[in-house]
Amino acid sequence: MPQTEVKKDTVKVKNQQAVTQPASPWKDAWRNFKKNKIAVTGTIIVLIFTIMAIFAPWLTPYSHSSGQLVDRLQPPSSDHWLGTDDFGRDILSRIIHGARISLTGGFAAVFGSIIVGSLLGVIAAYYGRWVDTLISRIFDVLLAFPSILLAIAIVTILEPTLQNALIAIAIINVPNFGRLIRSRVLSVKEEEFITAARAVGMNDRRILFKHIIPNSITPVVVQGTLAIATAIIEIAALSFLGLGTQPPKVDWGMMLSESQQYIVSAPWTMIFPGLAIMLTVLGFNLMGDGLRDALDPKMKS
Residue 127 confidence class, pLDDT cut points 50, 70, 90: confident
Its pTM stands at 0.84
Residue 188 confidence class, pLDDT cut points 50, 70, 90: confident
CB 243 within 8 A of CB 67: no
Counting residues of the chain whose pLDDT is more than 70, the rounded percentage is: 89
Cα separation, 84 vs 67, whole angstroms: 9
Average pLDDT over residues 169-198: 85
Distance linking the first and last C-alpha atoms of the chain: 45
Output the CA torsion sign for 197, 202, 204, 210: negative
Read off the pLDDT of residues 216-227 as tens digits, 9 standing for 90 and up. 788 888 889 999
Give the largest CA-CA distance in the chain: 89
Q: CB under 8 Å to 183, separation ≥6 — which residues?
A: 125
Q: What secondary structure does DSSP assign to 165-221, as a single string?
A: HHHHHHHHHHHHHHHHHHHHHHHHTTSHHHHHHHHTT--HHHHIIIIITTTT-HHHH
What number does CATH give the domain 29-299? 1.10.3720.10
Predicted confidence (pLDDT) at residue 263 exceeds the cutoff of 50? yes
Q: List the one residue out of 175, 157, 179, 162 whose CA is nearest residue 234.
A: 162
Residue 151 confidence class, pLDDT cut points 50, 70, 90: very high
CB 294 within 8 A of CB 53: no
Q: What secondary structure does DSSP assign to 210-264, as a single string?
A: IIITTTT-HHHHHHHHHHHHHHHHHHHHHHHTTSS--TTS--HHHHHHHHGGGTT
CB 222 within 8 A of CB 291: yes
Cα separation, 137 vs 139, whole angstroms: 5
